[in-house]
């Protein structure tokens, strides 16, 4: 029988998903935590950080070569690239390098958890079948999530460890320096709109204001990730993980505006990556005026990702009942989640 104490290796520990997973696991008595990232991090009594270049097999072998105690790999790293095809090679290579290095030295490896998304359903390409279910057929590549899962399925054959794949919608949580952080997009955009005396206009495509979509709270995702990694009935399967409710921006946007104490006005399609490109000087002035934490403008702005999300003029949601049928029953009310995250951003002095 395996030792009940477990050691988690969180790959991508500084991102929205990885940092919130680490925060959750620090509250669990039976885990030790090792975080991997390019930037490293500040150690706590339960977590130590390692700075590593995941694209370099030699650096992975050196930096991870003494991690014999690892029992669970939680993979949430991501490398951005300009095109879908260019995403495949680096994102597959990082996963391969980590699994190869840990398999070599960790005899008690039990599970590899892979973070995916709705790209496996073709959601990034255009209107897709909704609600999307975990047993949907694959679509025409390139798509790195599918390649990563195929690697794990092949690598796991004949091994004692298992894998799981978590498929959240847009993940909402607090973290800076992340290229896919919608909470930061909305929070900074709303704060700047207020500073300029402007109403909060929805900037997305015509039609996107009225479509149905869902979100995934980062804390809920963390709990689901640990659940799937530690329950044998979840072995070698994928799970959609969602808050459990659907919404439309036409209802959510006024609630967000009220939080920031600004008015709304008619939606106006505009690319945030373009109209917010010159706002670094405004951001610097706001940091000085309101005594905000010293985050660079690049660290708090994810405008390209915001443009992608606000460009979904088609329904965007999946069926989350598979996880519930197997025992994961947590849910989060999405409007309360947004307001809670914006409150936390204020408490951390990220926004005024």
pLDDT at 177: 82
pLDDT at 179: 80
Mean pLDDT of 221-236: 98
Domain 171-214+246-317+331-347: give its CATH superfamily: NAD(P)-binding Rossmann-like Domain (3.40.50.720)
Asked if pLDDT for residue 121 goes beyond 60, the answer is yes
pLDDT at 42: 86
Half-sphere exposure of 117 (CA within 13 A, CB side): 18
pLDDT at 178: 83
Task: pLDDT band for 151, please (50, 70, 90 cuts).
Answer: very high
**Same fold yes or no, 6-168+218-241 and 171-214+246-317+331-347:** yes
pLDDT at 3: 52
Q: Which pLDDT tens digit goes with each residue over 299-316?
A: 999 999 999 999 999 999
What are the structural domain ranges in the chain? Answer: 6-168+218-241, 171-214+246-317+331-347
pLDDT at 130: 98
Percent pLDDT > 70 in the chain is 99
Q: Which pLDDT tens digit goes with each residue over 15-27?
A: 999 999 999 999 9
Task: pLDDT band for 1, please (50, 70, 90 cuts).
Answer: very low
Q: Domain 6-168+218-241, what fold?
A: Rossmann fold (3.40.50)
Asked if pLDDT for residue 175 goes beyond 90, the answer is no
Q: Which pLDDT tens digit goes with each residue over 334-352?
A: 999 999 999 999 999 999 9
Q: Which pLDDT tens digit goes with each residue over 201-223?
A: 999 999 999 999 999 999 999 99
Asked if pLDDT for residue 184 goes beyond 90, the answer is yes
């Amino acid at each position: 029988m395996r030792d009940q104490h477990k050691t988690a290796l969180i790959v991508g520990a500084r991102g929205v998903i990885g940092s919130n997973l680490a925060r959750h696991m620090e509250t669990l008595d039976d885990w030790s935590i090792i975080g991997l990232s390019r930037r490293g991090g500040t150690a706590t009594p339960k977590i130590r950080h390692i700075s590593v270049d995941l694209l370099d097999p030699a650096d992975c072998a050196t930096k991870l070569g003494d991690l014999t105690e690892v029992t669970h790999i939680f993979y949430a790293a991501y490398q951005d690239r300009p095109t879908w095809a260019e995403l495949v090679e680096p994102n597959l290579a990082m996963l391969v390098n980590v699994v190869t290095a840990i398999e070599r030295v960790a005899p008690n490896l039990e599970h590899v958890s892979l973070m995916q998304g709705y790209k496996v359903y073709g959601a990034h390409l255009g209107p897709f079948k909704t609600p999307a279910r975990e047993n949907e057929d694959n679509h025409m590549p390139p798509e790195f999530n599918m390649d990563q899962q195929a690697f794990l399925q092949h690598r796991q054959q004949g091994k004692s460890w298992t894998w799981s794949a978590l498929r959240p919608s847009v993940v909402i949580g607090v973290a800076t320096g992340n290229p896919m952080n919608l909470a930061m997009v909305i929070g900074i955009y709303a704060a700047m709109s207020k500073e300029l005396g402007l109403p909060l206009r929805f900037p997305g495509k015509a039609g996107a204001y009225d479509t149905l979509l869902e979100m995934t709270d980062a804390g809920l995702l963390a709990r689901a990730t640990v659940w799937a990694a530690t329950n044998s009935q979840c072995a070698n399967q994928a799970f959609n993980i969602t808050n459990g409710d659907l919404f439309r921006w036409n209802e959510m946007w006024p609630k967000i505006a009220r939080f920031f104490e600004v008015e709304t006005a008619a939606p106006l399609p505009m690319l945030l990556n373009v109209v917010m490109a010159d706002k670094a000087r405004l951001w610097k002035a706001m940091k000085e005026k309101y005594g905000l934490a010293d985050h660079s403008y690049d660290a708090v702005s994810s405008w390209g990702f915001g443009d992608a999300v606000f460009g979904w003029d088609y329904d965007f949601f999946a069926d989350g009942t598979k996880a519930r049928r197997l025992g994961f029953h947590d849910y989060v009310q999405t409007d309360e989640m947004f307001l809670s995250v914006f409150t936390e951003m204020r408490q951390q002095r990220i926004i005024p």
